[in-house]
Structure formats: C-alpha cells, structure tokens
C-alpha cells in the first residue's frame, strides 16, 4: 500500500514536471488545467470586485455631495474620462454610467465569475474526484471570452460619450436612444460574457454528470456540487433569451430596426427622432425587452446566491463537526429553487401595468420560491444544533454572519413580492437595500468564507487568523452601516438611480410639498458614504493578508488542516496536475463528521469503514 502510493506520487510529480515543459505561458496563461483556470478567474474577478467598489464610492460621493468636485481623485477622473467629469465633478451622465457599470461589473464580472467559475472550477472536480473538467480546452476558452468581455466593458469608459448609462438592466427604449456608443460596447461585452457562461455551464454539467469518481453517487455528492450543478443549469437555460435581447437591441442601435421602439414613441430630437418605420410595421414592444431581460435576470440572482450558500454549508458542517442536517431536503430544495426561478421573473415588472391574473400568478410563484430558501436556511441553522462549533475562525465567522445577513435580505424580499406593497417600494432604495443584503453581506461573505477556507488547499499556507478576524468584524459593521439606512430611505420613498441622492425631492428643496424626503433621509447619504469608505479600508487587511500569506503565511500542518471529509481535502497540497495520487474510490456520504465509534471526529469519503 505504502509503496504503491509513493510510486503513484512519483509518477504524478513526474507528470507535473512534464507539464511544466511548455513554459510559463502554457502553464499560467493558456492553461487547460481546471485549477489554474479557477485561479485566473478568481484573481480577475477580485480585481473587478475592487473596480465595482470604486465606482460605487464615487457614486456615494455624488449622492452625498451633489455636484461637488471629488476630493483627491477629481483631477484624475477628469483626465481619464474627459468632459463627463469636468472639474472633477460627477455629472449626471457619469453617475448613470457608474451606476450601470457598477451593477454590470458586480454581477457579471465579479460575483458570478468568482462564486461560480472560480470556486466551481477549482473545487468541483476535486470534490467529485475527477482528474479535470470534461472539456479542458472549452474551459480555457470560457475564461478567454470572459476576459475579453471584461476588456470590452472597461474600454467603454474611455470612448467619447462614456460607458452605458441605462442601468444594468438596459431597458429599451432608453438604452437605444441614449447617445453613447457605450451601450453598443455593453451589448457586445454581454454577448461575450454570455458565451463564456454558456461554455462554462456546459462544461460544469458534463463534468458533474460524467466524471464522478467510482462510488460518488448522486446522493453522495457534497451539497456544494449540487448547488453548482443547479447554478450551471440556470446559466445554461436562462442566458440565451438575454442574448436574444442583446442581439435585438444591437440591431435597433446599429441597423435601424425597431424591435423595442414602439409606435407612438415620438422623440423630438436625435438619431431616433421619428419612428416612421416603426409605424409602418406595427412597431416594437418595449415590454418585450423587459421580459427577455428578467427571464435571465431572476435566475441570475440565484446564480449569485446559490454557490455562496453552498460554500457556507461546507464551512458550517465542517466547523460544527456535524453532517449537514437534512441533506436530502437540501438537495430537493435547491432543485426546487432552480426550477421555480424560471417562472417568477415578472415580479420585477409589477408596475408596468399588470392585470390581476398574471400578477397573481407571478406573486404566487415568487412566494413559493421563498419557501425552499427558508428551508435551506433552516437546515443550515439546525445543522448547528448538537455540534461542537469552532466559531472563532475567519471562514466560520463569515459563514455564520451570512445567515442573518441573507436572512435580512431574503425577508425584505417578501414585501417586494406582494405587488400591493411593491406599489410603494418599487424602484426605491428599499429594493437596493434588499438585494444588497443578499449579494453584499450575503454573497460576498460567502465567498470570503470560501477564500479563507480553501486558501490552505490552494497555497499550502493559512491566511493570518488575527487579521482575518479584523477583516470580518470591520466588514460586518460597515456593511450594515452602509445598507441598513437604505431601508429607511426607501420606505420614505427615495428613488434609486438619482445622482443627487434624492436632493431634488427633499423637503428642504420643496418646503411646501407634502411627502418630500426629510432631513434624516438626506443625512443618511453622508452616513452611507462614510460607511462605504470605511468598508473599503476594512478590505486592506484582507488584501494584504491575501498576498502576503502566499509567502509568509503559516504552513498548513497537513493536506487537510480543517480535518474535512470531502475529497478536495484528500489530495496533495496544492493538488498536482491530475489531482489525485490514486483514483479515489468513494465509499460513504460527504459529511461523516463525529461518527459514533470512529477514531477521529471525521471520516473522509474515500476511507473504508
């Protein structure tokens, strides 16, 4: 036994050397190894996360100090972006660009690539005991399309009229008639990103279906793998309609069609001034775009959250030293969420004028989809019961904080789901607060948990514990300082996407108008700005920790420092090309922690009884 293992080890070392032959480019840039590709995704996505954050800071500045020059960065902005940032001020156009690009970058270039592509690429093949992804070259192409899409998106900031300005949703007709080529860049960028996601999704699903190690039956897969499986299906089937929408909007912009420009639209100036052609053919439909967009848009938000939930589940089970409670229920719940998320989309369109029946349908499905989410969260909660919880490590702190934070975000989805309440809350900061609670302290905390958790597997070193905790507590505090006031603002009726933070509607501006925004609402803008800046500072320990630990971090004591059961921890550290010393043979479920009668408090999946 011993002898064969060392032999296999030698062989795998030999293979790694063999791979190194082609040199740096082949190994790190045009690699087909799922682990390298995962890391490429991770690093690129984290950079985009930072960019998205900077954009948001500038927006927050604009909201708090409307049309005041941006301190420190003002001149830089002016040189980079030209007229839109004249005198270092953020013009409404620029604010709208930043808003659209913050949303786009965060969703499509930061979070999805991070939680789905990066974690999925690195972890999924390891967890199912595969040697690589099913289609390594397609995997590489997927990253390249992503990268290209990112480049196109970023380039659009520097073209004459600046980047897209119609929100991340790019509703037509606004997106079509706005006079900037940024929208064209946006659309082309989106087509590239969609291509990337489709290739990735095909690969993930095929890998999970085909490359599970012997004994890795469906119900022995770690829940994280299930989650990625469902997520991949969401991407696979929901993205194409958005691609259709993007192509049609592109046609409207470039070729002069009017898919989304209805008859009776009467722009009195500009390129699209009269819609004569539209009139002749019956014109287009503005709402069609919204249907196509939200058909993707809603599944997309579950793409953001599900992988994060998966990470949190792994960490919680491991740190509570207990099996996930209700594994089967969890699996069925995530399948249910995936299925239902295709038929709830129009809850984003309640106020476009919906009749009783169709809105009753979408309200009902929306409420139904909240049930499996509750079930998932409940299972995670109950997992803690009877555990031996190691609270005080960075991954566990982030994972635990995820629960109430996602709870707040999810629960505030409920008033939005009932359209009678949405009537008041639609397009206010309440919505902004709702979804940021799910994506920022939710998903970002989930991915932080994942980074701290798997760092030792990837690098062989642990991240610094103390600074990890500093990072956590500061992030938790400032996230809440940033987003909690937004509920209040939204309830008061502060509308989103306003570069002056609602000042135009404030009672200070219109003292005799009833229902203007009161002073508290306006003052919160400053609080949010401060909170956001501090939140940024709070990331510095993380960034330093992340890079410095590569070199100076404490060496992990073993290949399995968290004493975990899943296969990803049963490989050498870092996993070599081909991942496993010996083809693993799975003999048990994924979470055999604290098994009565076992020697240790964990039994790896490939360890015979």
Partner 1 sequence: MEIPYVTQPRRDTGLYNAKVGIWLFLASEVMLFGGLFASYIMLRVGAPEGTWPTDLLDVPIGTINTVVLILSSVTVVLAWSALKLKNFKQYRRFQAVTILCAVTFIVIKSFEYREKFTHYDVVLVTGERVDGHLKERGEDEQGEEYLVLSHPVSYPAVNGIAYRPEAVREQKKSGQIDADRRIAQSEVKSIKNWSPAANTYFAIYFTMTALHALHVIAGALVIAWIWGPGASLWKTDPERYINRVEVSGLFWHFVDLVWIFLFPVLYLL
Partner 2 sequence: MSGHSPEEVQLEKKRYLTVFYILLVGTVVTVAAYFVELPWQALTVLVALIIASVKGFFVAGYFMHLMDEKKLIYVVMGFTFFFFLGLLLLTIWAWADTPISSW
Partner 3 sequence: MFDSISRLLGLPVNASVHGKSVDDFIIYVHLLMGALFVIWMIYFAYVLWRFNEKRHPRADHHGVQSKSSTYLEVAVVVVEAVFLIGFAIPLWAHMVDDVPETPGTNRVKVMAQQFAWHFMYPGADGEFGAQRFELVSAANPFGRDLDDPQGQDDFMTYNDLRIPLGEPTVFQVSSLDVIHSFKVIALRICQDTIPGQRVDTWCVPTQEGRYQINCAQLCGNGHSAMTQGFLTVHNREEFDTWVANKSAEAVIAAGSGDAGGFE
Footprint of partner 1 (CB under 8 A): 15, 130-132, 134-136, 138, 198, 201-203, 205-206, 209-211, 236-241, 243-245, 247-248, 251, 255-259, 263, 276-285, 288, 291-292, 295, 578-580, 583
Part of the chain binding partner 2 (CB under 8 A), chosen from 63-71, 85-93, 288-296, 549-557: 288-296
CB 534 within 8 A of CB 482: no
81 binds, among partner 3, partner 1, ligand HEA, none (CB under 5 to 8 A by kind): none
Residue 371: CB minimum distance to partner 3, A: 6
Specify burial of residue 513 (Cβ count, 10 A radius: 0-12, 13-18, 19+): exposed
**Count of residues that interact with partner 3, criterion CB under 8 A:** 101
Helix (H, G, I), strand (E, B) or coil at 593: strand
Q: Which of 8, 15, 4, 3 lies closest to 576, judged by CA?
A: 15
Residue 342: CB minimum distance to partner 2, A: 5
> Is the preceding omega at residue 173 within 30 degrees of 0, hence cis?
yes
Number of residues in the chain: 609
102 binds, among partner 2, Cu ion, partner 3, none (CB under 5 to 8 A by kind): none
351 is a contact residue toward partner 2 (CB under 8 A)? no
Q: Can you tell me the distance from the alpha carbon of 557 to that of 472, in angstroms, rounded to the nearest whole number?
A: 24
DSSP-assigned states of every residue in 176-221: HHSS-THHHHHHHHHHHHHHHHHHHHHHHHHHHHH-PPTT--GGGS
Which tokens hold the place of 467? 């600074």
358 is a contact residue toward partner 2 (CB under 8 A)? yes
352 is a contact residue toward partner 2 (CB under 8 A)? yes
Given 9, 27, 184, 370, the residue binding partner 3 (CB under 8 A): 370
Residue 306: CB minimum distance to partner 2, A: 17
Which tokens hold the place of 545? 């920790």
Given 76, 151, 209, 423, the residue binding partner 2 (CB under 8 A): 209
CB 44 within 8 A of CB 150: yes
38 is a contact residue toward ligand HEA (CB under 6 A)? no
Instruction: Considering only residues 453 through 482, tell me which ones interact with partner 3, judged by CB under 8 A.
Output: none
> Is the preceding omega at residue 574 within 30 degrees of 0, hence cis?
yes
Residue with the closest Cβ to Cu ion? 298
Q: Which is nearer to ligand HEA, 257 or 443 (CB)?
A: 443
298 binds, among Cu ion, partner 2, partner 3, none (CB under 5 to 8 A by kind): Cu ion
Q: Can you tell me the distance from the alpha carbon of 417 to that of 439, in angstroms, rounded to the nearest whole number?
A: 18
| Residues forming beta bridges with residue 163, ordered by sequence position | 182
Site string for ligand HEA, 345-374 (x = CB under 6 A): --xx-----------------x--xx--xx
Angstrom distances, CA of residue 425 to CA of 21, 166, 350, 488, 524:
60, 21, 11, 11, 18
Given 51, 166, 275, 346, the residue binding partner 2 (CB under 8 A): 346
298 is a contact residue toward Cu ion (CB under 5 A)? yes
Q: Can you tell me the distance from the alpha carbon of 63 to that of 98, in angstroms, rounded to the nearest whole number?
A: 12
Q: Which is nearer to partner 1, 85 or 278 (CB)?
A: 278
Given 163, 242, 286, 432, the residue binding partner 3 (CB under 8 A): 286
Instruction: Considering only residues 382 through 411, tell me which ones interact with partner 2, judged by CB under 8 A.
Output: none
280 is a contact residue toward partner 2 (CB under 8 A)? no
Diameter of the chain by CA atoms?
Answer: 87
Instruction: Considering only residues 12 through 51, tell me which ones interact with partner 3, judged by CB under 8 A.
Output: none
288 is a contact residue toward partner 2 (CB under 8 A)? yes
Residue 336: CB minimum distance to ligand HEA, A: 11
Q: Can you tell me the distance from the alpha carbon of 584 to that of 572, in angstroms, rounded to the nearest whole number?
A: 13
What does the angle CA 95 – CA 411 – CA 289 come to, to the nearest 5 degrees?
50
Residue 288: CB minimum distance to partner 1, A: 5
288 is a contact residue toward partner 3 (CB under 8 A)? no
Q: Which is nearer to partner 2, 354 or 484 (CB)?
A: 354
Tokens 């989809």, located at residue: 369
346 binds, among partner 1, partner 3, partner 2, none (CB under 5 to 8 A by kind): partner 2
Which tokens hold the place of 406? 């996602």
399 is a contact residue toward ligand HEA (CB under 6 A)? no
Q: Can you tell me the distance from the alpha carbon of 578 to that of 373, in angstroms, rounded to the nearest whole number?
A: 36
361 binds, among partner 1, partner 2, ligand HEA, none (CB under 5 to 8 A by kind): partner 2
Residue 15: CB minimum distance to Cu ion, A: 46
Given 82, 92, 136, 167, the residue binding ligand HEA (CB under 6 A): 167
CB 116 within 8 A of CB 523: no
411 is a contact residue toward partner 3 (CB under 8 A)? yes
342 is a contact residue toward partner 2 (CB under 8 A)? yes
Q: Which is nearer to partner 3, 172 or 203 (CB)?
A: 172
Q: Which is nearer to ligand HEA, 290 or 579 (CB)?
A: 290
Q: Which of 224, 226, 26, 123 lies closest to 571, judged by CA?
A: 123
Tell me the angle at which helices 286-320 and 445-459 cross, rounded to the nearest 10 degrees. Answer: 60
φ and ψ at residue 235, rounded to 5 degrees = -65, -45
Given 47, 267, 543, 544, the residue binding partner 3 (CB under 8 A): 267
Q: Which is nearer to partner 3, 210 or 352 (CB)?
A: 352
Tokens 């860049």, located at residue: 185
Residues 6+ apart with CB under 8 A from 588: 220, 603, 605, 607, 609
CB 435 within 8 A of CB 492: no
Q: Which is nearer to partner 2, 245 or 431 (CB)?
A: 245
Residues that bind Cu ion (CB under 5 A): 298
């Amino acid at each position: 036994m011993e002898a064969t293992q060392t032999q296999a080890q030698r062989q795998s070392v030999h293979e790694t050397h063999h791979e190194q032959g082609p040199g740096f480019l082949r190994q790190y840039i045009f690699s087909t190894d799922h682990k390298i590709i995962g890391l490429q995704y991770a690093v690129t996505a984290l950079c985009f996360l930072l960019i998205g954050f900077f954009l948001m800071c500038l927006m927050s500045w604009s909201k708090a100090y409307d049309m005041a020059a941006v301190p420190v960065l003002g001149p830089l902005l002016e040189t980079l972006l030209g007229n839109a940032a004249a005198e270092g001020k953020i013009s409404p156009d620029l604010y709208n660009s930043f808003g659209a690009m913050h949303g786009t970058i965060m969703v499509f270039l930061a979070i999805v690539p991070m939680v789905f592509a990066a974690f999925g690429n690195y972890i999924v093949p390891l967890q199912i005991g595969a040697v690589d992804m099913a289609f390594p070259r397609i995997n590489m192409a997927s990253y390249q399309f992503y990268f290209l899409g990112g480049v196109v998106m970023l380039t659009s900031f520097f073209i004459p009229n600046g980047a897209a300005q119609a929100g991340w949703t790019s509703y037509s007709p606004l997106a079509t008639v706005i006079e900037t080529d940024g929208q064209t860049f946006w659309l082309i960028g989106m087509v590239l990103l969609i291509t990337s996601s489709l290739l990735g999704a095909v690969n993930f699903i095929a890998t999970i279906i085909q490359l599970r190690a012997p004994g890795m039956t469906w119900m022995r897969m770690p829940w994280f793998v299930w989650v990625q499986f469902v997520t991949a299906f969401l991407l696979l089937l929901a993205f194409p309609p958005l691609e259709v929408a993007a192509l049609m909007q592109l046609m409207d912009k470039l070729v002069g069609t009017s898919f989304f420009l209805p008859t009776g639209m009467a722009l009195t100036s500009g390129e699209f001034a009269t819609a004569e052609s539209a009139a002749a053919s019956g014109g287009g439909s503005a709402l069609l775009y919204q249907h196509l967009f939200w058909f993707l848009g809603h599944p997309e938000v579950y793409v953001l959250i599900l992988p994060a939930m998966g990470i949190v589940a792994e960490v919680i089970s491991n740190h509570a030293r207990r099996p996930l409670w209700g594994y089967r229920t969890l699996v069925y719940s995530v399948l249910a969420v995936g299925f239902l998320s295709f038929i709830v989309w129009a809850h984003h369109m309640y106020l476009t004028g919906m009749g009783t029946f169709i809105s009753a349908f979408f309200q009902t499905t929306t409420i139904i989809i909240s049930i499996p989410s509750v079930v998932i969260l409940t299972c995670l909660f109950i997992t803690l019961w009877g555990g031996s919880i190691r609270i005080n490590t960075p991954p566990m702190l982030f994972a635990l904080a995820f629960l109430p934070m996602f709870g707040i975000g999810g629960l505030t989805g409920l008033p939005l789901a009932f359209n009678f309440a949405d009537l008041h809350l639609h397009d206010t900061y309440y919505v902004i607060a709702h979804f940021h609670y799910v994506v920022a302290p939710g998903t970002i905390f989930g991915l932080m948990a994942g980074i701290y958790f798997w760092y030792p597997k990837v690098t062989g070193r642990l991240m610094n514990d103390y600074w990890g905790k500093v990072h956590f507590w500061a992030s938790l505090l400032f996230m809440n300082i940033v987003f909690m006031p937004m509920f209040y603002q939204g309830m008061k009726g502060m509308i989103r996407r306003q570069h002056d933070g609602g000042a135009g509607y404030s009672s200070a501006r219109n003292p005799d108008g009833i229902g203007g925004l009161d002073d508290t609402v306006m003052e919160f803008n400053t609080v949010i700005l401060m909170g956001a800046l501090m939140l940024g500072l709070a990331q510095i320990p993380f960034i330093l920790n992340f890079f410095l630990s590569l070199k100076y971090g404490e060496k992990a004591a073993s290949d399995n420092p968290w004493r975990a059961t899943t296969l990803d921890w049963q490989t050498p550290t870092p996993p070599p090309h081909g991942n496993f010393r010996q083809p693993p043979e799975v003999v048990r479920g994924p979470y055999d922690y604290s098994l009565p009668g076992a020697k240790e408090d964990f039994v790896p999946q490939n360890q015979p009884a």
